[in-house]
Amino acid sequence: MQLAGQPQAPNIIIRGSGSSLAAASVQERLESQYEAFSEDSFVCVGDIVPTDMQEGFLRGHGTQVVDGQLMATVCGRVERINKLVSVRPLRNRYSAELGDVVVGRVTDVAGKRWIVDLNARQEATLQLSSVNLPGGVQRRRTAEDELNMRSVFEEGDLISAEVQALHQDGSVSLHTRSLKYGKLAGGQLVTVPANLIKRQKHHFNTLPDMGVDVILGCNGMVWVAPNAPPPALGADGEPEQAPPRPPATREQRAAVCRMAGALRALAALYFPIFQATLVDAYQARKPGLVDAA
Amino acid sequence: MAFQNTVASTPYNTIKLPDTLSVKGARFEGRGYEHFRNIFMQPGMLSQAAGSAYVEFGNTKIMAGVYGPRESDRREAFSNTGRLQCDVKLATLATRQRGRFGQSDQEREMSAALVSALSGAVRRETFPKASVDVYAVVLEADGGELAVAATAAALALADAGIELSDLVSACNVSRVDGQLLLDPSAGEARRQDGSAMMAMMPATNLVTHLELTGTWSAAQATEVLQLCMGGCLQLDLAMRASLRQTAPG
């Protein structure tokens, strides 16, 4: 940086071929559609947060009171909701909320539970009793199930799950008791800042036009994979356990890479990630940058 | 009060300047007694770390990375405050004489001092049970490594979004032939008969770490502390500007 002089635009470098051009075209397209946040609302650590001479303000996250003045404890944007003044950091660790859809990596198989890394302050646990057993049978978990835990999830597996409970000490329990959750394979993981992914109605997005499925994990881990075939219905009309995916075709892989590139471009530009922004970023590609053929 | 500005970082210096103090009110690099060397700072250099910063004071170059808050690798008794762990590493290529492999006493001492300089600012109660790890690597050593490391680490912590009560900035002052020199290079510090290193939080006006060596009269001690505080204040402004510039959007 320069200590004085003209402010410089930060250099944005996205890994992957031809991607800085892609980022530029994404920025061009999105900035016309979505409002970028104003620079005035940015504060640094130790800056006084203006409270507009309001008599009573409520101290929110990312602030402290020093000599009756509100001071920021993180670098970020000032947010005001009525009297509550808080500073939302630009980059922070994921903090779980009940019901969040997350994508995480299994780091350990411990007694009756898996330890899952969510890029959060602490590792999350997934109890053996909160997964669906293969075959979908409903019964008490036995010692044998405990021995066969690695046949469900192994160390290094990527899974999607939901936050089941938050505990007093800040630790998190997950569950995968639905067919939409479980092991992820045959796609690409993209990690973005967690605060770019807001809680929304649908975290599982199926985009048939592009032929990709996108799981927006609230913890900033996003899974991109080719469209899954629709689940076959069993004899009782209930959907069966998903069959193994067929190997992806070249076109599918190109679409997945392009979607992953769109995600990285959005993250580099610090745009919030929704289905709409993602589709826009995907379509902002300049012809000739990526060739699927 | 002139602050020397640099457009780019300083290239690796292959020829060292002679170890003499210049005369007539100016120091070797052409700066005044109360001027810093060229300063360059850039937060957000490492993609893998939660937060990072690269800081140069002249030829002293340090890269700091912050990881966490994450699960503590050491199992400990439950505590409601998080753990701050610092590790300063002097790269073997940092000094004129090639460094030895393994942690030296100097590195251990600097790591402990860095913990003390930062722990006054880091709000450890905001990450119970977890630990924040700060790694600072000295890429080139030319005096004031601890001060630069503390400045870089504070920038990296702010970049990581870890709650701080204030930014920490740190600087050195040497006394050579009775003259106080702000931000001495290694050549100047070799001739010192007294030195001060101060880390402080300028916005809240609190000192987090102070090292004073040599014999000081009461008057000169006040003078040296004031010079340190003025230096820290200047650095603080530069740190804020760098954080503002790298903010996305």
Least CB–CB distance from B161: residue in A47, A91, A269: A91
Closest CA to B183 of B12, B37, B39: B37
> What is the reported pLDDT for A14?
33
Least CB–CB distance from A74: residue in B5, B161, B241: B161
Same domain? A81 vs A98: no
CB crowding B118-138: b at 16 or more within 10 Å, else e: bebbbebebbbbbbbbbbbbb
> Which residue type sits at B28?
F
> What is the reported pLDDT for A53?
62
Instruction: Give the mean model confidence (pLDDT) for residues B10-24.
Output: 57
A209 and B CB contact within 8 Å: no
Same domain? A48 vs A31: no
Give me the total of CB pairs closer than 8 Å, taking one residue from chain A and one from chain B: 111
Can you read off the two tokens belonging to residue B216? 């000081």
Q: What is the pLDDT of residues A148-188, one digit of tens each?
A: 999 999 999 999 999 999 988 778 999 998 888 999 988 99
Is residue A259, in this structure, part of any structural domain at all?
Answer: yes
Least CB–CB distance from B41: residue in A1, A39, A73: A1
Quote the CA–CA distance of A212 and A232 in Å, as a whole number: 19
Is residue A269, in this structure, part of any structural domain at all?
Answer: yes
CB atoms within 10 A of CB B58: 25
Is residue A2, in this structure, part of any structural domain at all?
Answer: no
Residue found by looking up tokens 């898996």 in the block = A114
Strands A63-66 and A113-117: unpaired
Of A89, A122, A153, the last residue of a domain is A89
Closest CA to A92 of B50, B123, B74: B50
Domain of A51, CATH number, reads: 2.40.50.100
pLDDT band, very low/low/confident/very high, at A231 (cuts 50, 70, 90): low
Contact (CB, 8 A) for A149 and A91: no
Contact (CB, 8 A) for A106 and A159: yes
Same domain? A180 vs A190: no
Same domain? A99 vs A16: no
Q: How far is CA A71 from CA A43, A58, A62, in A?
A: 9, 12, 9
Contact (CB, 8 A) for B188 and B182: no
Instruction: Give the mean model confidence (pLDDT) for residues A190-198.
Output: 90
Higher pLDDT, A129 or A286: A129
A89 and B CB contact within 8 Å: yes
Higher pLDDT, B53 or B22: B53
Domain span at residue A48 reads 41-89
> What is the reported pLDDT for A234?
60
Longest dimension (CA), chain A: 72
Same domain? A50 vs A24: no
Domain boundaries, chain B: 29-74+82-246
Instruction: Give the mean model confidence (pLDDT) for residues B191-216.
Output: 94
Answer yes or no: do B240 and A74 touch at CB < 8 A: no
Cis ω before A231 (30° cut-off from 0): no
pLDDT band, very low/low/confident/very high, at A10 (cuts 50, 70, 90): very low
Q: What is the pLDDT of residues A65-97, one digit of tens each?
A: 888 888 999 988 888 888 888 898 887 788 899
Same domain? A293 vs A198: yes
Instruction: Give the mean model confidence (pLDDT) for residues B61-76.
Output: 85
Same domain? A216 vs A242: yes
Answer yes or no: do B5 and A4 touch at CB < 8 A: yes
Residue B39: its chain A contacts at CB < 8 A? Answer: 3
The backbone torsions φ and ψ at residue B175, rounded to the nearest 5 degrees and listed phi first, read -110, 115
pLDDT band, very low/low/confident/very high, at B70 (cuts 50, 70, 90): confident
Same domain? A53 vs A68: yes
Instruction: Give the mean model confidence (pLDDT) for residues B132-149.
Output: 95
Of A117, A150, A184, the last residue of a domain is A184
Instruction: Give the mean model confidence (pLDDT) for residues B54-67.
Output: 94
Domain B29-74+82-246 has CATH 3.30.230.70: yes
Higher pLDDT, B73 or A14: B73
pTM of the model: 0.78
Is residue A1, in this structure, part of any structural domain at all?
Answer: no
Cis ω before A10 (30° cut-off from 0): no
Of A152, A167, A184, the last residue of a domain is A184
Instruction: Give the mean model confidence (pLDDT) for residues B5-10.
Output: 59
Domain of A146, CATH number, reads: 2.40.50.140
Rounded to two decimals, the ipTM of the complex is: 0.79
> What is the reported pLDDT for B24?
55
Contact (CB, 8 A) for B144 and B60: yes
Instruction: Give the mean model confidence (pLDDT) for residues B36-63.
Output: 91
Can you read off the two tokens belonging to residue B25? 């009110």
pLDDT at residue A146 greater than cutoff 60: yes
Quote the CA–CA distance of A109 and A42 in Å, as a whole number: 43
Same domain? A118 vs A142: yes
Higher pLDDT, B63 or B8: B63
Quote the CA–CA distance of A148 and A143 in Å, as a whole number: 9
Strands A42-43 and B206-213: unpaired
- Count of the separate structural domains present in chain A: 3
Closest CA to B154 of B203, B190, B119: B119
Higher pLDDT, A251 or B222: B222
pLDDT band, very low/low/confident/very high, at A293 (cuts 50, 70, 90): very low
> What is the reported pLDDT for B133?
95
Can you read off the two tokens belonging to residue B140? 């080139």
Answer yes or no: do A76 and B129 touch at CB < 8 A: no
Same domain? A191 vs A166: no
Question: In this structure, what is the dihedral angle of CA atoms B144, B148, B151, B154, given to the nearest 10 degrees?
Answer: -120
Helix (H) or strand (E) holding B231: helix B218-246
Longest dimension (CA), chain B: 60
Q: What percent of chain A has pLDDT over 90?
A: 35
Instruction: Give the mean model confidence (pLDDT) for residues B76-97.
Output: 87
Strands A124-131 and A182-184: unpaired
